[in-house]
Amino acid sequence: MSEPRRRMSGKERREQLIQISRSLFAEKGFDGTSVEEIAASANVSKPVVYEHFGGKEGVYAVVVDREMQKLLAMVTEALSASHSLIKLERAALALLAYVEENSEGFRILVRDSHAASGTGTFASLINDIASQVEDVMADEFVGRGYDPKLAPMYAQMLVGMVALTGQWWLDVRTPPREEVAAHLVNLAWNGLVGLDPRPRLTASSRGMEQRRAPLPSHPTDRELREMGKARERELKEQEKVREREFKEQEKIRQREQREAEKLAKEQEKARERELREQERLFKEQEKIRERELKEQEKIRQREAKTADRETARQAKISGHPDETGPEHESSG
């Protein structure tokens, strides 16, 4: 006779419904999923779903909120790194890791958001992440002489680029995650390194905006010269930035080297102290051993003297027989 199936607690039933709904929403979307399907997949009646969530909209909102919090936590942790390049690398890896390990959740987030999700849309999630990146970029802009007021716009650009790449990679899954992250960082970081603090459109494009006339098929010689000069200025600025980056990296390397040398000296001192302590203990043990040997030698000498005295006494006794012996009898 089989044992009766254990009845789920309210908390366990709620979690089961969330997981089942998550899979269905990822596969069919909000509109393509019904309360009947959720209830049937969980082997419960429709009123159970209504009891826990009030309807399909309620469980959808819970699923979306969970996925948002999970992804936001992963990106927030990545942005806690110290160096800006490391922050960018880890943030890209965090998003791609979420895509790879939580494909169903990511598909739900990037679908056309339903009104039931409330503020829990992918766009609002991107805005939340961009607001964190904005603080990082504002600090970098100040350090490099750029206008920090532009940081929000650049944060949206950067996060949007990474997010759209994540959507594309969700289906293709090639190249591998770390390689995709490396290429993302390559484009973003090298673009930021060579950032022009005062960017302008080329003269040809500016003229188009001013005249609202069709762009000439070929730039004039003057425009080409201006474009060449602008490119030279851009290259010089990029070179200056690269030099600053190199100097910063060299400073970091020197600090790390000094720290390593300091640690090596401390370890050497500790080893010397340990050797001295071992030597001291060895000497103490040697002294104790010498004292024991001397004490054993004294005992041996005392025992030898005692034995010699005993031997002499026995010899003396053996050399003087009893006076009633034969010699005394013959003399009588």
What are 59-98's pLDDT values in tens digits?
A: 999 998 898 889 888 888 888 887 888 888 898 899 899 9
pLDDT at 211 over 80: no
pLDDT at 20 over 50: yes
Higher pLDDT, 116 or 261: 261
Higher pLDDT, 277 or 320: 277
Rounded CA gap, 148 and 195, in Å? 13
Rounded CA gap, 63 and 117, in Å? 9
Classify 148 as helix, strand or coil.
Answer: helix
- Report residue 214 as tokens: 């069709």
pLDDT at 328 over 50: no
The residue type found at 75 is V
Which residue from 109, 90, 121, 236 is spatially nearest to 170, judged by alpha carbons? 109
Q: Cβ–Cβ contacts within 10 Å for residue 206, how many?
A: 13
pLDDT of residue 219: 64
Rounded CA gap, 175 and 304, in Å? 91
- Report residue 60 as tokens: 């959808």
- Tell me the percentage of the chain whose pLDDT exceeds 70: 85
First CA to last CA distance, the chain: 125
pLDDT of residue 115: 44
pLDDT of residue 210: 58
Q: What is the number of H-type helices and E-type strands within the chain? A: 12, 0
Rounded CA gap, 35 and 21, in Å? 9
Q: Cβ–Cβ contacts within 10 Å for residue 182, how many?
A: 14
- Report residue 288 as tokens: 């104790």
Q: Could you tell me the CA-to-CA distances from 271 to 21, 263, 283 in Å, in that order?
A: 62, 12, 18
- Report residue 329 as tokens: 């009898």
pLDDT of residue 305: 92
Average pLDDT, the chain: 82
pLDDT of residue 82: 79
Helix boundaries (H) for 194-220:
203-211
Rounded CA gap, 59 and 49, in Å? 8
Q: Could you tell me the CA-to-CA distances from 54 to 12, 60, 232, 253, 328 in Å, in that order?
A: 17, 11, 64, 59, 139
Residues in CB range of 140: below 8 A, 6 or more apart: 84, 146, 192
Instruction: Look at the alpha carbons of 155, 157, 160, 162 in this order and tell me if their dihedral is positive or negative.
Output: negative
pLDDT of residue 47: 94
pLDDT of residue 323: 47
Q: Cβ–Cβ contacts within 10 Å for residue 211, how many?
A: 9
**Whether residue 175 has a cis bond before it, omega within 30° of 0:** yes
The residue type found at 76 is T
Mean pLDDT lowest for which of 101-105, 232-236, 281-285?
Answer: 232-236
pLDDT of residue 38: 94
Predicted confidence band at 143 (pLDDT cuts at 50, 70, 90)?
confident
